[in-house]
């Protein structure tokens, strides 16, 4: 749409070359240091409206020595959400789903990490988001 006058209202974000953005990590892993599972960085000239976040964990098998484990999502280096435990019992689980509007600007980053500081055992981790990217 060509704007011919400044008296014309600016289009809403969803009318500014909007595209859907989605990312997910799902995996069953054993003990590990904090590991980045996915990263999204906003390109120049773009913004991203985060609409939904989901984080879950499920203790698949017990550890020899218990330790903490978690699934996390960060925005611009700050915790947005985390789900974890140190309970060493099979089928221990947690879930967190967030909806709302968080805007990321050009150059900002959102990323997901997992860790499992136990000795032995496995945990299923899942971190996902759904967002809309659009022109600034």
Domains, the chain, ranges and CATH? Answer: 13-135 (2.60.120.380)
Dist. CA 134–CA 48, nearest whole Å: 6
Answer for the pair 40, 95: CB distance below 8 angstroms, yes or no.
Answer: no
Is residue 2 scored above 80 in pLDDT? no
Average pLDDT over residues 31-44: 97
pLDDT tens-place string over residues 49-89: 999 999 999 999 999 999 999 999 999 989 999 999 999 99
Dist. CA 91–CA 83, nearest whole Å: 15
How does the average pLDDT of the chain come out, rounded? 93
Distance from the Cα of residue 12 to its chain's centroid? 25
Tokens of 44: 């120049």
Please give the model's pTM, rounded to 2 decimal places. 0.88
Percentage above 90 pLDDT, the chain:
86
Dist. CA 16–CA 136, nearest whole Å: 8
- What is the sign, positive or negative, of the torsion defined by CA atoms of 15, 19, 20, 24? negative
The pLDDT confidence band at residue 5, using thresholds 50, 70 and 90, is low
Is residue 1 scored above 60 in pLDDT? no
pLDDT of res. 109: 97
* Distance spanning both ends of the chain, measured CA to CA: 14
Is residue 100 scored above 90 in pLDDT? no
pLDDT of res. 30: 97
pLDDT of res. 130: 97
Average pLDDT over residues 26-43: 97
Average pLDDT over residues 4-30: 87
């Amino acid at each position: 749409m060509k704007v011919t006058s400044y008296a014309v209202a600016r289009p809403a974000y969803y009318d500014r070359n909007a595209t859907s953005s989605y990312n997910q990590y799902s995996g069953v892993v054993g003990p590990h240091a904090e590991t980045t599972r996915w990263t999204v960085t906003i390109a120049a000239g773009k913004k991203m409206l985060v609409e939904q976040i989901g984080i879950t964990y499920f203790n698949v098998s017990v550890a020899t020595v218990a330790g903490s484990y978690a699934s996390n999502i960060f925005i611009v280096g700050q915790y947005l959400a985390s789900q974890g435990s140190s309970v060493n019992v099979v089928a221990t689980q947690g879930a967190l789903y967030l909806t709302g509007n968080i805007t990321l600007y050009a150059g900002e980053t959102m990323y997901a990490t997992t860790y499992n500081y136990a000795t032995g055992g496995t945990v299923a981790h899942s971190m996902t988001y759904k967002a809309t990217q659009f022109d600034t």
